[in-house]
Amino acid sequence: MADIKAKSNTPATSSNLFGKENYMWILIGLAVMVLGIILMAGGKSKDPNVFLDSDVYSTTRITVAPILILLGLGIEVFAIFRKPKA
């Protein structure tokens, strides 16, 4: 009986490293990075023999997509270092 009492007084520890909110932030960060990669990839040219610099060097591919990828990485760092609520 003494063993049962000793075990009930010890606090329960969780084996999970992250909480539910951490995983939610990780998924949000991944989604933002995937969106950035998709925007950077863009579409294909209608004629492969013609080079359209307006498609390759568009603001979306050069500015917006890398910012989204870096923002997603920042969200991942936030999700990893955020303490789960008890």
**The pLDDT of residue 68:** 97
Domain span holding position 50 = 26-86
What's the whole-model pTM score? 0.74
Q: Considering its fold, how many domains does the chain have in total? A: 1
Q: How many CA atoms lie within 13 A of 25 on its CB side?
A: 18
**The pLDDT of residue 7:** 55
**The pLDDT of residue 57:** 85
**The pLDDT of residue 10:** 58
**The pLDDT of residue 17:** 82
> Does 17 fall in a domain?
no
Measured CA distances, 65 to 7, 19, 32, 77, 80 (Å): 53, 29, 10, 19, 23
Residues of the chain with pLDDT under 70: 1-14, 86
**The pLDDT of residue 38:** 93
> Does 70 fall in a domain?
yes
> Does 55 fall in a domain?
yes
> Does 71 fall in a domain?
yes
